[in-house]
A and B are shown apart, each in its own frame.
Chain A
Amino acid sequence: MKMNAMSRISRRIFLAFALLTAGLAQAQLSIEITGAGASRIPVTIVDFPGDPAASRVITGTVRADLERSGLFKLIDNAGLAFDENAAVNHADWKSRGADALAAGSIGRAADGRMEARFRLYDTQKGVSLGGAAYVTSNVQLRAAGHRIADFIYEKLTGEKGVFSTRIAYVVKARGQYLLQIADSDGQNAATALTSVEPIISPVWSPDGGRLAYVSFEKKKPVIYVHTLASGQRHIVANFKGSNSAPAWSPDGRKLAVVLSKDGHSQIYSVNADGSGLQRITQSSGIDTEPRYAPDGGSIYFTSDRGGSPQVYQVGASGGDAKRVTFEGNYNVSPRPSPDGKSLAFISRREGRFQLAVMDLASRQVQIVSDSNKDESPSFAPNSRMILIATEVGGRGVLSAVSSDGRIKQRLSVAAGDVREPAWGPYYQ
């Protein structure tokens, strides 16, 4: 299909790091780019003068971010280093093929911390597109790089960048389940929860500070809310039967949850502290996988009320549900995009489970992956990329796919299965 016609970037970026967990000290996470946009913006990031090691970390992060997005083509900077105030020979860079150029420096802020400054230029027009300075510490240099990459991305594409965001996912390795948080490039992974029982369905609170998820540590599915900075967590739903599939309301005050306390899975809403339980759906079949529309007014969910699992939409406080998917006999895991324009879900076609994206205005559906076992889609906050769990060579990996299917990245952990991805909100 589409992939065959696409340019394939053979270059692989292997980013190795030591996970700070006792059980997985040797785990390596690698990112492989397997597709790119049809037209990529040629851009040069020159080296930053000053501390060469710090420059390498920052410019390396910026270059890797832009390259990985599939929307940029990195033009060699010929080893040149100059800062954000130096005069730029636009004609020269234009002739080297760069439409844009970023230069910068690393200095000291008044309080003694590091400061990364940079400026972005349009070499075609020979003008500055603006710049910024980010105060940072030595261990946060990569974070500064991500913020510079976000700035460049937004100026050149018109969309907000997501390089400064974080992702959550579950690693299963050596009989343990690890709920991990990493930067959007897979680096800086930290383990928020370790359990010998399954952990599924993590979802980020809209403020990015908490995760709701389902843990089987009490020998049955129970929903928790976990504050990442403190590690504090509390039970939101632990009723008779299963408690699962949490989804935050856009204002972060409520969660839609799935409870089987009355015999089979139905959708309820509950306050984030566990109070104020209200039933939302009423059916004799399976209702699960709720997700609030970005305006908070309705909930997309999976139901088999029509004889096969399909996506439906219901008002946020209940009422009549209307069917959203019609093609095929297995459409599950609906995820509305943050911009409200599209709906990602998993569709089974001829025995293959694939990522599908519906344009909500036209109701057109496009299959955007070429794998067989896609699960758990999660939109980036700019709605451009979708993170999914899939399988390669019998192992669980994460794959980021652009919503038009053109760009693909793969994230895998050598030591185990990676699954249940959740892309966090914008950096705050």
Chain B
Amino acid sequence: MKKLLIPALLSALIVGCSTTPLPEDNAGAPVESRSGSGTGVASVTADGVDANGLPRELTDPKSKLSQRSIYFDLDKYDVKDEYKDLVAAHAKYLVANKGFKVLLQGNTDERGSREYNLSLGQKRAEAVKRSLTLLGVKEDQVESVSLGEEKPKNAGHDEAAWAENRRADILYRAADGRGEF
């Protein structure tokens, strides 16, 4: 968004200081309504936030920060190496945006004790929290909770479903209270 504002500001300066004719393609161009084509209507919010009120940077599928899930091995709650970059990216964002908070929800697969799974989900959320705080995120920006096996994302009963449910999710909330939790 900042990139788009700069030409607009420049053109305003040009208008104010010079009699040079404006380049035609710069005059009055809408800042952020170029995504639609044909009869489709793309919904756009003027200040660059998504429907939850979060910056697109956090939800645009092209942004790494839109990846919010960290997957775990059976019975385990250590954050695997393959997720270190993802956690680091979220840590960097939270360090730079101290008004933002995250809720970490730990989940498990359906097998075994419900109560043990509740504790296991807590440990998974807590492991992500520890990774974030070690990278400089403030303690009060992060809350970890567990859903245990109670809210499976994949309702199946096979290895693929179980793997998908052994997971911690990162939910964001902006300083103004808007967000995903």
When the two chains form their complex, are residues A264 and B114 in contact, meaning their CB atoms are under 8 A apart? no
* Residue from B111, B112, B114, B148 whose CB has the most chain A CB atoms within 10 Å: B114
Q: Which residue of B lies closest to A177 (CB)?
A: B150
Tell me which of B113, B145, B157 contacts A242 (CB under 8 A): B145
When the two chains form their complex, are residues B150 and A198 in contact, meaning their CB atoms are under 8 A apart? yes
The 8 A CB mask of A321-364 against B (1 = contact, 0 = none) is 00000000110110000000000001010000100000000000
B166: chain A residues within 8 A (beta carbon): none
Residues 358-384 of A at the B interface (beta carbon under 8 Å): 373, 375-376
When the two chains form their complex, are residues A309 and B126 in contact, meaning their CB atoms are under 8 A apart? no
A394: chain B residues within 8 A (beta carbon): 157
B69 on interface, CB distance cutoff 8 Å: no
B144: chain A residues within 8 A (beta carbon): 241, 263
Tell me which of B111, B118, B123 contacts A244 (CB under 8 A): B118
Q: State A265–B146 Cα separation when bound (angstroms).
A: 10
A278 on interface, CB distance cutoff 8 Å: no
A198: chain B residues within 8 A (beta carbon): 150-151
B119 on interface, CB distance cutoff 8 Å: yes
A260: chain B residues within 8 A (beta carbon): 119, 122, 126, 146
When the two chains form their complex, are residues A333 and B115 in contact, meaning their CB atoms are under 8 A apart? yes
Q: State A264–B106 Cα separation when bound (angstroms).
A: 12
Q: State A415–B14 Cα separation when bound (angstroms).
A: 73
Least Cβ–Cβ distance between B60 and chain A, in angstroms: 28
B78 on interface, CB distance cutoff 8 Å: no
The 8 A CB mask of B139-156 against A (1 = contact, 0 = none) is 000011110101100000
Do A332 and B123 form a contact, CB below 8 Å, given A308-B75, A353-B111? no
Point out residues on A near B: beta carbons under 8 Å. 198, 200-201, 216, 220-221, 240-242, 244-245, 258, 260, 263-265, 285-289, 302, 308-309, 329-330, 332-333, 346, 348, 353, 373, 375-376, 394, 420
When the two chains form their complex, are residues A241 and B145 in contact, meaning their CB atoms are under 8 A apart? yes
B83: chain A residues within 8 A (beta carbon): none
B120 on interface, CB distance cutoff 8 Å: yes
* Residue from B112, B144, B145 whose CB has the most chain A CB atoms within 10 Å: B112
Do A265 and B150 form a contact, CB below 8 Å, given A241-B145, A302-B116? no
Least Cβ–Cβ distance between B103 and chain A, in angstroms: 10
A289: chain B residues within 8 A (beta carbon): 113, 115-116
Q: State A234–B135 Cα separation when bound (angstroms).
A: 41
Q: State A376–B117 Cα separation when bound (angstroms).
A: 12
Do A288 and B112 form a contact, CB below 8 Å, given A198-B150, A308-B75, A394-B157? no
The 8 A CB mask of B148-180 against A (1 = contact, 0 = none) is 101100000100000000000000000000000
When the two chains form their complex, are residues B122 and A265 in contact, meaning their CB atoms are under 8 A apart? yes
Q: List 6 A-B contacts (CB under 8 A).
A: A200-B114, A244-B118, A288-B119, A333-B113, A348-B112, A353-B112
Q: State A288–B117 Cα separation when bound (angstroms).
A: 10
Q: Which residue of A lies closest to B145 (CB)?
A: A220
Tell me which of B112, B114, B151 contacts A201 (CB under 8 A): B114
When the two chains form their complex, are residues B119 and A264 in contact, meaning their CB atoms are under 8 A apart? yes
Tell me which of B114, B119, B123 contacts A376 (CB under 8 A): B114
When the two chains form their complex, are residues B146 and A375 in contact, meaning their CB atoms are under 8 A apart? no
When the two chains form their complex, are residues B75 and A330 in contact, meaning their CB atoms are under 8 A apart? yes
Q: State A288–B122 Cα separation when bound (angstroms).
A: 12
Q: State A287–B119 Cα separation when bound (angstroms).
A: 8
A216: chain B residues within 8 A (beta carbon): 150
Q: State A153–B106 Cα separation when bound (angstroms).
A: 48
Q: State A288–B116 Cα separation when bound (angstroms).
A: 7
Q: State A245–B119 Cα separation when bound (angstroms).
A: 10
When the two chains form their complex, are residues A375 and B114 in contact, meaning their CB atoms are under 8 A apart? yes
Q: State A426–B115 Cα separation when bound (angstroms).
A: 26
Q: Which residue of A lies closest to B116 (CB)?
A: A332
B115: chain A residues within 8 A (beta carbon): 200-201, 244-245, 258, 288-289, 302, 333
Least Cβ–Cβ distance between B92 and chain A, in angstroms: 23
Q: Which residue of B lies closest to A351 (CB)?
A: B111
Q: State A201–B113 Cα separation when bound (angstroms).
A: 10
Q: State A37–B146 Cα separation when bound (angstroms).
A: 43
Least Cβ–Cβ distance between A37 and chain B, in angstroms: 29
Do A333 and B116 form a contact, CB below 8 Å, given A241-B144, A373-B111? yes
